[in-house]
Amino acid sequence: MNRINLICLGVRDMASSLSFYRSIGFQTMEREAQPPIVFFDNEGSKLELFPLADLAKDINAANPPERAGQSFPGITLACNFKDKAAVDNVFRLVKQNGGAIAKEPAMTDWGGYSGYFQDLDGYYWEAAYGPDWEFDEQNMLVIP
Amino acid sequence: MNRINLICLGVRDMASSLSFYRSIGFQTMEREAQPPIVFFDNEGSKLELFPLADLAKDINAANPPERAGQSFPGITLACNFKDKAAVDNVFRLVKQNGGAIAKEPAMTDWGGYSGYFQDLDGYYWEAAYGPDWEFDEQNMLVIP
């Protein structure tokens, strides 16, 4: 795992946040004013907006492994892998090295395979595999 | 601004966090066990580790524009520009579109020009220019 594909910000008001990020220059082909999720097609790791409450649920925040009294910072970082075994391998390494498992990797309702872990300061990472993902030459996701 | 160069995590124990990220696969040429800052040379936006208290000070956290009762989540995202005017332009757009200024752009002690703003949910962004930065063909920073 030497890659960051997504920086996901949990937002309270999707329409306003989408408008804000567009206004400062971030670009997306999204056409809805209030889409369920937004991916921007920026340089570097792709910026993603996700409803805050749904993001917390996605990482099993009802039962988070609290570290140092930290609450959910609202941000997750993601590494998107090209096979399930790579996801499992990261979780093995995380456990061996003192990270906390927020959600063990499992099949998702969108046909992928995903889990969340926390680093030593409690920051959340998703490691995931999806059968339909396309990657560009920098191993970033191709954003439609 | 359609680019994310750095994802900076404020960490409490640099040596342990450096060891953790190395153990799960992130790569750096860093040789010190407890460096003041670490930049990883990963794919996508570069991962940076920064002492948490220093990061809070760097973004003027003694006087943060509190939004929705949010405290400092410990994470900042950065866009590194190729001239000062681009930094000023982003801050102009942020002000016009409802973002909050955490620190107005100013010259830094390392010879650069940097400011911080918050988006509508209070997440922190740094927009900066540095005269010595080198960029690769994807406009990511070249990490020594």
Q: How close, in Å, is residue A136 to chain B by CA atoms?
A: 11
**Minimal Cα distance from A122: which residue of B?**
B11
Please give the structure tokens belonging to residue A39: 């991916």
Q: Mind listing the pLDDT tens digit for each residue in A111-132? A: 999 999 999 998 999 999 999 9
Mutation to test the A interface, candidates B22, B43, B80, B91, most A Cβ within 10 Å: B43
Distance linking the first and last C-alpha atoms of chain B: 24
A45 close to A6: Cβ distance less than 8 angstroms: yes
For residue A44, pLDDT over 50 is answered with yes
Query: What's the whole-model pTM score?
Result: 0.92
Residue A136 has pLDDT above 60, yes or no: yes
A67 — pLDDT class (breaks 50, 70, 90) = very low
Per-residue pLDDT for A10 more than 70? Answer: yes
ipTM of the complex: 0.91
> A6-129 has which CATH code?
3.10.180.10
Please say if the pLDDT value at position A40 is more than 90: yes
pLDDT of residue B56: 84
Please name which of A44, A57, A61 lies closest in space to residue B2, comparing C-alpha atoms: A44
The DSSP code for A121 is T
The answer to whether the CB of A2 falls within 8 A of the CB of B42 is: yes
Instruction: With beta carbons less than 8 A apart as the criterion, state whether B116 and B70 touch.
Output: no
User: In terms of Cα–Cα distance, which of B125, B67, B131, B138 is closest to B93?
Assistant: B125
What values do phi and psi take at A13, rounded to 5?
-135, 95
Q: Give how far B64 is from chain A: nearest CA, Å.
A: 16
Q: What is the nearest CA distance from A140 to chain B, expressed in angstroms?
A: 7
Q: What is the 3-state secondary structure (H, E, C) of chain B?
A: CCECCEEEEEECCHHHHHHHHHHCCCCCCCCCCCCCCEECCCECCEEEEEEHHHHHHHCCCCCCCCCCCCCCCCEEEEEEECCHHHHHHHHHHHHHCCCEEEEEEEECCCCCEEEEEECCCCCEEEEEECCCCCECCCCCECCC
Q: Which amino acid is at B100?
A: A
Percentage, residues of chain A above pLDDT 70? 92
pLDDT tens for A19-32 read 999 999 999 999 99
pLDDT in the model for residue B66:
47
- Can you give the length of chain B in residues? 144
Q: Which residues of B touch A139 (CB under 8 A)?
A: 43-44
* pLDDT, greater one: B57 or A137: A137
Q: Is A19 helix (H, G, I), strand (E, B) or coil?
A: helix
| A-chain residues near B98 (CB < 8 A) | 16, 20
pLDDT (mean) for A83-98: 96
CA distance B39 to B48: 5
For position A5, what pLDDT does the model report? 97
The per-residue pLDDT of chain A, averaged, comes to 91
Pairwise CA distance, residues B68 & B79, whole Å = 24
Searching chain A, which residue's CA lies closest to the CA of residue B18?
A120
Tally the C-alpha atoms within 13 A of residue A115's C-alpha that lie toward its C-beta.
20
Q: Which residues pair with A79 in a beta bridge?
A: A127
Residue A95 token pair? 């456990």
pLDDT along chain B (144 residues), means of 10: 96 96 95 93 96 86 50 90 97 95 92 95 94 94 90
User: CA B27, B81, A11, A141: dihedral to nearest 10 degrees?
Assistant: -50
The nearest alpha carbon in chain A to B127 belongs to A24
CA distance B42 to chain A (A): 5
Give pLDDT, residue A35.
Answer: 95
The token pair that represents A100 in the structure block = 């906390």
Is the pLDDT reported for residue A76 higher than 90? yes
